[in-house]
A and B are shown apart, each in its own frame.
Chain A
Amino acid sequence: MSKKRHVVAAVDEVPPGSRKHLNLAGREIALFNLGGEFFALGDKCPHESGSLCAGKIVGLAEADTPGHYRLSRDGEFVKCPWHGWEFDIRTGQSWCDPTRTRARAYETAVAAGETLVKGPYVADTYPVRVEENYIVIDV
């Protein structure tokens, strides 16, 4: 089945640090804005299908030695609301088992309304206007 381009939101609608739940062609997707970059993950936690979109956004906790805590990559992980596993929003990889346990990651792009109006795209709910920018996902 060939992929279709979906216009999922206007850029302004998903400000940095926020997320949006999407249902695209029957797929649950969690869309995140990391400091202006958009990332889309399958909204099913690979563990037991908790909704990543409903998880807490956190940084990466590390420590070189016991008791010396460090937080890096502020806001770049989401903790599954069900059992707390952490997922890298950029890649969908889990922190605890990055190669085998990962959430599906979808390509996102930002497209100008001007180019979008020419189509083709699927935007059931999105009246696309020439003067705005939109987040698009190919699914």
Chain B
Amino acid sequence: MKVPFAGAIDCDLHLPSPSMAVLMRHMDDFWREQFVTRRIDRMDFQLTSFPPNTPLAMRDDWRAPAGEGETPLDKLRREALDPFGARIAIGSILHGAIGLYNEDMAAVICSAVNDHLARDWLDHEPRLRGSILVMGSSPDHAVAEIERLAADRRFVQIILPVMGDFLPGKRQMWPVYRACEKHGLAVALHAGSTYRYPPTGSGWPSYHVEDYIAQSTAFENAIVSFLAEGVFNEFPDLRLVCLESGFTWLPTLLWRLNKEWRGTRQETPWLDRPPADVVRERVRFSLQPVDAPADGALLTRTLAHIGSDELLLFSTDYPHAQFDGDNALPEGLPADLQRKIMIDNPPACYPRLAAEAKEIAP
């Protein structure tokens, strides 16, 4: 169904991946020269995960380039910001730099992506907020990048692909989470992989469908890693946001977590209450893709199994092809839940959005 009222917060919207020419404007002389002399200044550094010409990566009607005299921002307004009436939209750029083995080069591109996001998008559109792109393979760089950008309150989260060099709850990532918690940034994991490892536990799949389906398992692994390693204990104010994760698989994860915890909790004694309760408090999921049959009653049942109306965050996942026309909401969501998802849940998850709302309120 169409979004029934304006003022939503769109928590997952994709901005186009900038060309190297654009990014080089945000680099110093050394790196500009490096990219040119190494002849990689025309390389697009696309992520192999969800490459842009696969069908799901871009809805057909959004695939056309910006029109005559239209800037990319105009196009974004026309296709995503205006039709869904979002008050705020959190934009991300998932750039292939995070997959590079050369840490210095990856770091400089990530920083350029973030500066491009701030200068070329956020500066021009007050509805936009941003995600800080960081390298999960290099926690040192991630911390430095967070510290560099933390003062810019328009960045509300960091973003990492759900599959990286190691499970994301691992202790080597804790300095990153410490920095996020300190600055009121959420940690977003987005569907995708740097392909350091195959996306399945049994090696490389052959087809796209296998890669898509493997994502939900990766999110399960990531959530369980956060719980088992104790990230939520160590960082009591930190929120984990799963973007483009789907959520219809969540009930069985919650059931299994609570069940297995009863017999194994001695290994991780800091998990001192049913882990599904911790997930309900600390993990959030973007709405799109919904992955449920069109029958609204089935979705309602899934949500009842999830057992909380606070977990979902409205998202269009623009420009990915998750729904047709303006029907960014699935059928069958009761009105009060629509409100929670679109208006109330996002600020409750993002400390920086909550702080903004306070400033605006009389």
Residues of A within 8 A of B (CB): 58, 61-67, 69-70, 79-80, 83-86, 94-97
6 extra A-B contacts, CB within 8 A, seeds A63-B268, A66-B230: A63-B269, A66-B268, A67-B171, A83-B262, A84-B264, A86-B266
A69 contacts which chain B residues (CB < 8 A)?
Answer: 269
Closest residue to B232 on the A side, CB-wise? Answer: A66
Closest residue to A67 on the B side, CB-wise? Answer: B230
* Given the contacts A61-B269, A63-B270, A66-B229, A84 and B234 also touching, CB distance less than 8 Å: no
Q: For window 156-181 of chain B, which residues contact chain A by CB distance below 8 Å? A: 171
A65 contacts which chain B residues (CB < 8 A)?
Answer: 230, 233-234, 270
B266 touches A61 (CB 8 A): yes
CB-contact partner of B272 in A58, A62, A80, A85, under 8 A:
A62
B234 contacts which chain A residues (CB < 8 A)?
Answer: 65-66
Closest residue to B265 on the A side, CB-wise? Answer: A96
Closest residue to B267 on the A side, CB-wise? Answer: A61
B269 touches A62 (CB 8 A): yes
CB B255 to nearest CB in A, in angstroms, measures 14
Interface SS of chain A: helix, strand, loop or mixed? loop
* Given the contacts A61-B269, A63-B269, A84 and B230 also touching, CB distance less than 8 Å: no
A95 contacts which chain B residues (CB < 8 A)?
Answer: 265
Task: Place the interface of chain B in its size category.
Answer: 10 to 19
B203 contacts which chain A residues (CB < 8 A)?
Answer: none
Closest residue to A86 on the B side, CB-wise? Answer: B266
What are 16 A-B contacts defined by CB distance under 8 Å?
A63-B230, A63-B268, A63-B269, A63-B272, A65-B230, A65-B233, A65-B234, A65-B270, A66-B233, A66-B268, A69-B269, A79-B263, A83-B262, A84-B263, A85-B262, A86-B266
Q: For window 203-233 of chain B, which residues contact chain A by CB distance below 8 Å? A: 229-231, 233
Interface centre among B171, B266, B274 (most CB of A within 10 A): B266
CB A97 to nearest CB in B, in angstroms, measures 8
B121 contacts which chain A residues (CB < 8 A)?
Answer: none
Q: For window 239-265 of chain B, which residues contact chain A by CB distance below 8 Å? A: 261-265
The docked-state distance in angstroms from the alpha carbon of A83 to that of B265 is: 12
A84 contacts which chain B residues (CB < 8 A)?
Answer: 262-264
B268 contacts which chain A residues (CB < 8 A)?
Answer: 63, 66
CB B181 to nearest CB in A, in angstroms, measures 14
A58 touches B266 (CB 8 A): yes
Top 3 nearest A-B pairs (CB, nearest first) are A66-B230, A84-B263, A63-B269
Interface centre among B171, B270, B272 (most CB of A within 10 A): B270
CB A36 to nearest CB in B, in angstroms, measures 26
Closest residue to B266 on the A side, CB-wise? Answer: A61
Closest residue to B273 on the A side, CB-wise? Answer: A96
Closest residue to A96 on the B side, CB-wise? Answer: B262
Q: For window 258-294 of chain B, which residues contact chain A by CB distance below 8 Å? A: 261-266, 268-270, 272, 274
The docked-state distance in angstroms from the alpha carbon of A66 to that of B265 is: 12
The docked-state distance in angstroms from the alpha carbon of A65 to that of B236 is: 11
* Given the contacts A65-B230, A66-B233, A67-B230, A85 and B269 also touching, CB distance less than 8 Å: no
The docked-state distance in angstroms from the alpha carbon of A129 to that of B294 is: 77
